[in-house]
Amino acid sequence: MRTFLLVPAVLFACSTLAQPFAIGERSITYYDATRDRNVPTTVRYPALAGGSNAPVAPGAFPVLVVGHGFVMTTAAYGNISDHFVPLGYIVALPTTEGGFAPNHGTFGADLAFVASALQAAGAESGGVFEGHVLPATALMGHSMGGGAAMLAAAGNTVQAVVLLAPAETNPSAVAAAAQVEVPTLVFAGSEDCVTPIADHQGPMYAALATSCKAFVTIQGGGHCYFANDNFNCTFGELTCGPDLTVSRAQQQAVVNTFATPWLAHHLLGQGGALNVFLDLVSQQTGVEASADCISTAVGAAPVDAWAGCATLAVDVLTAWTDRPVRTGWVVDGAGRKVAAVKPWQGSCSIPVNALAPGGYLLVLVDDAGDVLVNRFVRTDGAVDR
């Protein structure tokens, strides 16, 4: 299928900070009243000075909730917090389900709950994070935690997902992927013998329902190098004998290089960040990468747009084309599919009365597999092309 990418031609800087933030750390137990469950969590955040319980730095920051791998501690993911906290992200690592008989569904629910709890903490009067949390959250996860992050993302309203060698889970992360409609970036190692691509990341990626997804395979990379050194992970990987040809530092550098512009675009809305990501995909240096994304930037000029989306009343969007339309959808500003379009040819009326005012893309796939894109704005009084 030929997919057109709509991106603003604006230069991107990974960080607008004059200097990186220090890393503060707190151990916080969030209580989920619905499940009567405590969720102890290590939270690392931009701070005025580094250290335990340090004051939060001025500003508001997006949230990354990270799921750990099987029998791995959150300490193994210092590489993630060491990179993203200085850039201005809050990194939360729930410590639950760390034993030898983890409940994957419960762990996914824990990740989803911590995501909502941190958003609530940003509005909590007198709380540590009051006024410091942007309404922008990504779910991340490695191995089992990656599969659990997929479970957490299914049907939930986070803004993005980043998965590191995600593992199939019980309940099935592959099945859950069919309900994930937010932008999703999947990393894999070509030499991963613990969660081989063909059995784990590949089926998950294929099942995703999002209109924006990307897959990065690190050539010569393995399963455990996505995290810092951890005995349990290393021991498990040695039992299948991977042929690794990159170092841990090199593999983590690839993750940082790709994930930084991906999150900057989807969580911070930084102009040009998706262009940077797509340039990395096209370079294919030490990786095999692909992306299937349709940007939701309303200001971007449509590519292969058709004369078929008119100014209409607020309740109905009418479009027409002489091409047989096989499928289609409406995409909102966060990359989520918010409405489906049935097969049609000629004229079609699409209800939009349930959509919030704002910019959207109407995306149609014709019988030849080509993608037709047009943008519209739903307002309280009219819908304009």
The closest alpha carbon to 74, from 88, 93, 49, 57, belongs to 93
The full set of domain ranges for the chain reads 22-293, 316-384
What does the alpha-carbon distance between residue 97 and residue 71 come to, in Å, rounded to a whole number? 8
Helix, strand, coil abundance in the chain, percent, nearest 5? 25, 30, 45
181 burial level (CB within 10 Å; 0-12, 13-18, 19+): buried
Neighbours of 247 (CB within 10 A): 12
| Mean predicted confidence (pLDDT) in 119-142 | 95
pLDDT band at 45 (very low <50, low <70, confident <90, very high): very high
Tens of pLDDT, residue by residue over 161-172, are 999 999 999 999
Q: How far is CA 216 from CA 10, 248, 283, 308, 378, in A?
A: 24, 16, 12, 36, 35
| Span 22-293 CATH architecture | 3-Layer(aba) Sandwich (3.40)
Token pair listed for 160: 């993005």
HSE of 188, CA atoms in CB hemisphere, 13 A: 27
Higher pLDDT, 336 or 53: 53
56: DSSP letter = B
| Mean predicted confidence (pLDDT) in 353-364 | 76
Instruction: Give yes or no for residue 173 having a pLDDT over 70.
Output: yes
To the nearest whole number, what is the mean pLDDT of the chain?
Answer: 85
Tens of pLDDT, residue by residue over 88-109, are 999 999 999 999 999 999 999 9
What does the alpha-carbon distance between residue 327 and residue 342 come to, in Å, rounded to a whole number? 6
Instruction: Give yes or no for residue 314 having a pLDDT over 70.
Output: no
SS3 (DSSP) at 243: coil
Query: Is 22-293's fold the same as 316-384's?
Result: no
pLDDT band at 332 (very low <50, low <70, confident <90, very high): low
Do the strands 212-218 and 184-189 form a parallel or antiparallel pair, or are they unpaired? Answer: parallel
Q: How far is CA 270 from CA 43, 102, 375, in A?
A: 24, 38, 20
The closest alpha carbon to 61, from 13, 12, 21, belongs to 21
As a dihedral over the C-alpha atoms of residue 250, residue 255, residue 260, residue 262, rounded to 10 degrees, the angle is: 150
What does the alpha-carbon distance between residue 317 and residue 379 come to, in Å, rounded to a whole number? 12
Domain 316-384 grouped into CATH 2.60.40.1930: yes
